[in-house]
Amino acid sequence: MELVIILIAIAVLVVAGLGTTFLVRPRRRRVSAPPPPPVPGPEAGRTTAPPAEQAGGGAAPTEVLPPTVPPRPRDEAPAPLRGRLTRLRGRLAASRGGFGSTLLTLLSRDALDDQAWEDIEDTLITADMGVAPSRQITEELRTQVKVTGTRDPGQVRTMLRTELIRQIGPDMDRTLHTGSHGDRPSIMLIVGVNGTGKTTVAGKLARALIGEGQTVVLGAADTFRAAAADQLQTWAERTGAQVVRSDREEADPASVAFEAVRVGIDERASTVIVDTAGRLHTKTGLMDELGKIKRVIEKRATVDEVLLVLDATTGQNGLRQARVFAEAVDVTGIVLTKLDGTAKGGIVIAVQRELGVPVKLVGLGEGPDDLAPFEPEAFVDAILGS
């Protein structure tokens, strides 16, 4: 009798199991982020609860959407990244009567007296270049004009061009580390204060990389604003990227980042781009959050790029933000957005000085291809109007 009961119980379990498999299969697009592995560092020594639990609640349910069908991007093909700055030079607000033309007018004055040099220095400072670089550029030009005795506009212009390029650092390595290495995708973290253009940068980059033949996973680790994940998903749908997001607001960002990297590795993607939240609540809070995201990702892969997005129109405020972020995480490159909205392009020099990190990309508008690799020569030529 007991044997019969056991056999019936087994049969019921088998039938239930099959039923569940069939029920779950069509919904495979929704998966739960597995708890990330134990994290070393400040949290080591604890019985390392997964980040999701620390954020209050179970593991973040994460929605993994497959690439859009048909897999080719529906939008027209993106313009190649290379040479975009030259093509978009007209977008640089600084190119339209900005500080470049003011400098050239000042340098062509009949008498280059003390007052004229002071005006030149002031123009550079007003362009957000920073006091020290402005003084250096002015001194250098003044010496050259004195030594060469030249007042020929063409030659003065060449001197100014050379000096600006030198200050920007033509030899800085501005390579964007994307594309798989070995069997691992490159991992890129996008950080910065909300509103600077982080999500837009993630989307524009995904579009450009997919245009170059890469496969891209976008991780919506800005879980504090549902709109950010929706925005990223829209980019994914338009570009053919895959998106990993939580369907719960305020889910743990590290869980989402971990899941995005897992999907990137499993699906052999070329690049995983993780968008983060940029709440500047406290420096410690920011450090904890970004530090945790990075440590959790590094359980599975290397973080190749940490791109700090700064709004070029925010001047000194932007520089203050840059300082805080650089203390929280090792920034590998700067993205200066909204350069189309400011004539003060000098921030390029100031922010590089401040962080010792190159500007790698610049945002020049709201269109999907309005993101360009930064090229010092093309930038200076645009602001000098050549």
SS3 86: helix
Q: Are 241 and 232 in contact (CB under 8 A)?
A: no
Q: Are 374 and 362 in contact (CB under 8 A)?
A: yes
Minimum CB separation from ligand GDP for residue 149, in Å? 43
Tell whether residue 126 is a contact of ligand GDP (CB under 6 A).
no
One-letter amino acid of 336: L
Site mask for ligand GDP (CB under 6 A), range 225-244, x = bound: ---x----------------
Cβ-based nearer residue to ligand GDP, 294 or 338 = 338
Sign, CA torsion 117/119/125/128: negative
Among 84, 89, 157, 198, binds ligand GDP (CB under 6 A): 198
Site mask for ligand GDP (CB under 6 A), range 63-92, x = bound: ------------------------------
Distances 326 to 199, 286, 306, 307, 351 between C-alpha atoms, Å: 19, 11, 10, 10, 11
Minimum CB separation from ligand GDP for residue 363, in Å? 2
Minimum CB separation from ligand GDP for residue 290, in Å? 14
SS3 206: helix
Among 95, 102, 186, 196, binds ligand GDP (CB under 6 A): 196
Q: How far apart are CA 52 and CA 289, in angstroms?
A: 12
Find the length of the chain: 386
Among 41, 66, 195, 285, binds ligand GDP (CB under 6 A): 195
**Cross-strand bridge partners of residue 64:** 244
Q: How far apart are CA 154 and CA 152, in angstroms?
A: 6
Minimum CB separation from ligand GDP for residue 225, in Å? 8
Q: Which residues, 274 to 303, sit near ligand GDP by CB under 6 A? A: 278
Tell whether residue 194 is a contact of ligand GDP (CB under 6 A).
yes
Q: Which residues, 320 to 349, sit near ligand GDP by CB under 6 A? A: 337-338, 340-341
Cβ-based nearer residue to ligand GDP, 36 or 278 = 278
Beta 242-246 vs 61-65: how paired, if at all? antiparallel
Tell whether residue 96 is a contact of ligand GDP (CB under 6 A).
no
**Radius of gyration, alpha carbons of the chain:** 26
Q: How far apart are CA 48 and CA 232, in angstroms?
A: 30
Residue number of the CB closest to ligand GDP reads: 363
Tell whether residue 364 is a contact of ligand GDP (CB under 6 A).
yes
Q: How far apart are CA 201 and CA 309, in angstroms?
A: 8
Cβ-based nearer residue to ligand GDP, 36 or 373 = 373
Residue 147 tokens, joined? 């030594």
Contacts with ligand GDP by CB under 6 A lie at 192, 194-200, 228, 278, 337-338, 340-341, 363-366, 370
